Copies of this chain bind each other. A is one copy, B any other.
Amino acid sequence: MSTEELKALFNQSGQRFTAQREAVWQLFVEHPRGLTIAQATTVLAERKISQTTIYRTVKNLQDMGYLRWVHNPEGEHRYLATRPGHTHMLVCRQCDRAVECSDCDLSVLEQLIARKTDFTVEGHYLEFYGLCPNCRKTL
C-alpha cells in the first residue's frame, strides 16, 4: 500500500490524510517487526504528534484493514502494517520480525471438525510463531 493509494482511500470516504496520519502510517511501514502503541508514541512524540492521535489513527488503519495486531506468547501487543483481507502472520519469537502469509487452506481440517462437532465452521483466526532465518543462525 503506497502512501498515495492510502491517501486516496482516506479521501474517498471523506476523511483527510493529514501529516499526522501519514507519519503514523510511515512509522509502521518502516518497522516490519511492528510496534506497540507505547513505542509508536515515544518515536512520534519527537514530531509533536499526540498520543491521542496515535490511538485514533491506529484504530482507523486497523478498521481499514491496513494495520493488524499480533501478540507474542508473553502477551505483548504489537501492530503491523498489512494488507486487508484474510491473511495470517508468522512472527519470530526471538526478534518479533513478522511476515504475512496469505495462503492457508484449512478447508479439510474445517470439514473434519464440522463432522466431529456438528458446528458449521465459518472461519478461523490463525497466527504462526517460530524463528526467523537470522535468529536461527545466532541461537
Report which A residues bind B (CB closer than 8 A). 69, 71-73, 75, 77, 90, 92-93, 99, 101, 103-106, 109-110, 112-114, 116-133, 136
Contact = CB atoms under 8 A, between A and B. Distances in A.
Given A99-B117, A101-B117, A109-B104, A131 B122 contact: yes
Q: How many copies of the shown chain assemble into the complex? A: 2
Contacts of A110: 128
A43 B102 CA distance: 40
Contact of A101 (B71, B101, B116, B131): B116
A2 to B, nearest CB: 23
B93 A122 contact: yes
A125 B127 contact: yes
A71 B77 CA distance: 10
Nearest to A124: B128
A127 B75 CA distance: 14
Contacts of A119: 90, 92, 99, 128, 130-133
6 contacts: A99-B119, A101-B113, A101-B117, A106-B106, A118-B133, A123-B129
